Amino acid sequence: MIMKELIDRKEVNDMTLATEKDKAFALAELSRRKIENTPKVIDNRSLYAGSDMYFYCDYCKALTDQLPEDYIPDPDTPKKICDECQSLKDLGWME
């Protein structure tokens, strides 16, 4: 959402033209989301058999997928990175 707003505001379609100021803002938001999401993480091992499985962003720990225990994995399931962090990764701002 944040990256989309930055791009829309600048009316830029090429994400590589984002400024260092935008980068600093986006990375500060990432830090905020990481702190905000950390206590919400559910440990799948502590759930009862048959419960849904919860998957979180590798970077900010936001919930990315909630799937049944018997889901069939594929390259896009479960989602490993939230949309916000994927935007930052696409810009090359995540290491």
pLDDT of residue 76: 82
Task: Tell me the torsion sign for CA atoms 67, 70, 76, 78.
Answer: positive
Dihedral, 61, 59, 6, 15 alpha carbons, nearest 10: -150
Could you tell me the CA-to-CA distances from 22 to 14, 41, 80 in Å, in that order?
A: 14, 28, 24
Q: Enter the pTM of the model.
A: 0.66
* CB atoms inside a 10 Å sphere around CB 84: 20
18-52 residue pLDDT tens = 577 788 888 888 888 888 877 677 888 888 988 99
pLDDT bin (cut points 50, 70, 90) of residue 12 is: very low
